[in-house]
Amino acid sequence: MKSEPPSVAPVSGERLSATQKVFAVMECIATSERPLTVSDLAVLLDVPKASMHRIVHQLDTDGLLMPDAGSRGYVPGPRLLNFGLNVVNAGMRNAPRHAVLQRVSAETGETVNFGLISGGSLVYVDRVEAAWPFGLRYEIGSRVPAYCTSMGKLLLAHMPKRRRDHFLSVTHLHPYTPHTMTDPAQLEEQFAEIRSQGYSLDNQEFLAGVVCVAVPVHDARGQVCSAIAASAPLARMSVEKAIGHVHLLTRAAKEISQSWSPDPSDDPESTPADKED
């Protein structure tokens, strides 16, 4: 008796880009309990069979999929298996950083975030939620505005000025709360203050009633590359209390920086191409 395809909700192929279709095929193959045929994949992803044949053929050629010896279906190829193992290894490499975030969260009693700027937004790369009910639930990979968040402002402050000016010029400075700064000149003054004091505050600028404080994390060459922050409702963490956490965050940032090994390809004598004007 022929087994049924895995219970994956069909996705309209018309809504997927070419890259998304390729990824969706690999995801289906990787999560299936049995080899999948071209017909199975075409039905599951709502993609014409002819198009699916081309996708599967290319993935097979590239070593990302391979035919199953005992059926007409396909299974993960060696490159896809190696990719999966590398993802697991990357998670293991990030374990020391996550342990640092866990410790700081326990010390402060608040949510601790690790983020960087990517694609015009502040991205949460890692986080540890506080053990409080009704907390703010942002998933890893969530994107938030940079100009009105503590980590985002800190990273903008350390960005070369020409890049920062361009960043702000193409960003819609939306007033999320009455406290949001939307004047580039006012923001520039705060960026200078952030560089001087060594930390950044978000005093209800992105979310009403929420306070955050962030400090920089440096890469192996001493450049600011990311940030670590603590966040909490104003009712539990005043601005003064947030500033009191700076020493814990700074210590954690140094530990994270020291856990990174220099890239052998980096020239220790090199300097950033762009310097602060």
What pLDDT score was predicted for residue 91? 63
**For residue 267, pLDDT beyond 70:** no
Cα-flanking dihedrals φ and ψ of residue 228, to 5°? -125, 140
Residue 40 in contact with residue 53, Cβ under 8 Å?
no
d(CA 6, CA 226) in angstroms, rounded, equals: 40
Residue type, 200: S
Give 203 or 219, the one with higher predicted confidence: 203
3-state helix, strand, coil in the chain (%, to 5): 45, 15, 40
**For residue 134, pLDDT beyond 80:** no
Mean pLDDT score of the chain: 85
**For residue 24, pLDDT beyond 60:** yes
**For residue 275, pLDDT beyond 70:** no
Give residue 224's pLDDT band: very low, low, confident or very high (50, 70, 90). Answer: very high
Helical spans, DSSP H, in the chain:
18-31, 38-45, 49-61, 78-93, 95-108, 150-157, 161-169, 184-197, 239-244, 246-258
pLDDT digits (tens, 9 = 90+) for 169-195: 999 999 999 999 999 999 999 999 999
Cα-flanking dihedrals φ and ψ of residue 152, to 5°? -60, -45
Residue 210 in contact with residue 234, Cβ under 8 Å?
yes
What pLDDT score was predicted for residue 18? 84
Give 126 or 270, the one with higher predicted confidence: 126
Angle (CA) 263-269-270 rounded to 5° is: 75
d(CA 142, CA 200) in angstroms, rounded, equals: 20
**For residue 216, pLDDT beyond 70:** yes
**What is the mean pLDDT of the segment spanning 133-160?**
86
What pLDDT score was predicted for residue 182? 95
What pLDDT score was predicted for residue 161? 93
**What is the mean pLDDT of the segment spanning 228-255?**
95
What pLDDT score was predicted for residue 139? 74
What pLDDT score was predicted for residue 131? 78
Please give the share of the chain, as a percent, with pLDDT higher than 90.
Answer: 61
Cα-flanking dihedrals φ and ψ of residue 104, to 5°? -65, -35
**For residue 98, pLDDT beyond 50:** yes
Give residue 135's pLDDT band: very low, low, confident or very high (50, 70, 90). Answer: low
